[in-house]
């Protein structure tokens, strides 16, 4: 599926659009706060013995008789981290979620950014260790294609903390999920932002999440925890469920808006390339 030539041609089209629209990065601004021998002038610093004498600004010395060196902004390659929800509740949306991850990862590798992919559920599970270069595209797509659903629950906050323990380098984190986390999403998103990452949320839900067509007596078993419950569902309960999901999704939108986190929401009815094209035309992985 993800290594099919037809699918890869779609990825190529998205990369060409990304290069045209974004000019080389899924990130809007990748200039580092570090100073060094880069390209864009940033500041002056007093000259000290041992500094590169080629950086001395002799015009300043001629005017003020002070030795200063030029500092420049360093343009760093971005690190794109994809956290893909691989919990069993994603099963009906898993194909689209993988396609979205494939599109974002393909663009990152072709733009020579570093890429790292994890599956998240009750813990983190590596899909692709941090790598870079167009030669890594097929291994990335194969690893993503073979990735199964796993876990007995979804703990986003614990996964965020485990991720940070493994990766200190700040980067762009794309979370692809339905965001129906039992313990919520706010603490996990706040934790990632607190550690200076740029976070983007890509929400994937389908009718199984947002609508309730069951009526009467039903036996329900949670696909993740295995918990069993027998319920009687009336039209009123069905409406309350649908409203609760709508309220939950609205709280995600408000949370992202408050924190300056980019958010895109979609369903399996929308082709993956349409979703990514919209993200690119909005300026990439930005709020």
- The reply to whether 104 and 140 lie within a common domain is yes
CA atoms of 86 and 79, how far apart (whole Å): 21
- The reply to whether 103 and 242 lie within a common domain is yes
Give the three-state DSSP class for 59: helix
| 263 domain residue, yes or no | yes
Proportion of the chain in helix, strand, coil states, percent, rounded to 5: 45, 25, 30
- The reply to whether 198 and 135 lie within a common domain is yes
Rounded to the nearest 10 degrees, what angle do helices 5-22 and 272-281 cross at?
A: 10
- The reply to whether 81 and 70 lie within a common domain is no
Structural domain including 10 reads: 5-28+77-281
| 9 domain residue, yes or no | yes
- The reply to whether 61 and 82 lie within a common domain is no
CATH number of the domain enclosing 83: 3.40.50.410
| 287 domain residue, yes or no | no
What DSSP letter does each residue of 106-160 carry, written as one string? HHHHHTT-EEEEEEESSSEEEEEEEEESGGGHHHHHHHHHHPPP--SS--HHHHH
- The reply to whether 136 and 151 lie within a common domain is yes
Report the predicted TM-score, pTM, of the whole model to 2 decimal places: 0.83
Q: How many domains does the chain have?
A: 2
| 24 domain residue, yes or no | yes
- The reply to whether 194 and 57 lie within a common domain is no
Would you write out the chain's pLDDT as a tens digit for each of its 287 residues? 899 999 999 999 999 999 888 775 565 444 444 444 444 555 667 777 767 767 788 887 777 777 877 765 444 567 999 999 999 999 999 999 999 999 999 999 998 889 999 999 999 999 999 999 999 999 999 999 999 999 988 999 999 999 999 988 889 999 999 999 999 999 999 999 999 999 999 999 999 999 998 888 899 888 888 888 898 899 999 999 999 999 999 999 999 999 999 999 999 999 999 999 999 998 888 77
* Tokens read off for 101: 């991850």
């Amino acid at each position: 599926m993800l290594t099919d030539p037809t699918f890869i041609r779609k990825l190529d089209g998205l990369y060409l659009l990304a290069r045209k629209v974004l000019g080389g990065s899924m990130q809007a601004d990748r200039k580092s706060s570090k100073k060094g021998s880069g390209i864009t002038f940033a500041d002056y610093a007093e000259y000290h013995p041992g500094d590169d004498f080629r950086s001395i600004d002799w015009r300043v010395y001629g005017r003020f008789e002070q030795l200063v060196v030029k500092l420049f902004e360093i343009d760093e390659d971005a690190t794109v981290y994809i956290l893909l929800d691989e919990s069993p509740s994603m099963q009906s949306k898993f194909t689209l979620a993988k396609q979205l991850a494939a599109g974002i990862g393909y663009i990152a590798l072709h733009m020579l950014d570093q890429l790292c992919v994890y599956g998240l559920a009750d813990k983190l599970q590596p899909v692709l260790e941090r790598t870079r270069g167009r030669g890594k595209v097929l291994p990335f797509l194969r690893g993503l294609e073979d990735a199964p659903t796993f876990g007995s629950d979804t703990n986003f906050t614990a996964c965020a903390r485990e991720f940070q323990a493994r990766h200190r380098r700040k980067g762009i984190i794309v979370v692809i999920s339905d965001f129906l986390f039992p313990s919520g999403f706010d603490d996990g998103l706040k934790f990632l932002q607190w550690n200076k990452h740029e976070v983007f949320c890509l929400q994937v839900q389908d009718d199984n999440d947002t609508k309730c067509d069951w009526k009467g007596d039903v036996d329900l078993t949670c696909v993740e925890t295995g918990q069993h419950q027998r319920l009687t569902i009336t039209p009123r309960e069905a409406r309350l469920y649908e409203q609760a999901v709508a309220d939950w999704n609205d709280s995600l939108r408000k949370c992202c808006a408050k924190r300056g986190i980019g958010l895109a929401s979609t369903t399996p009815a929308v082709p993956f390339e349409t979703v990514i094209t919209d993200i690119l035309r909005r300026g990439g992985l930005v709020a």
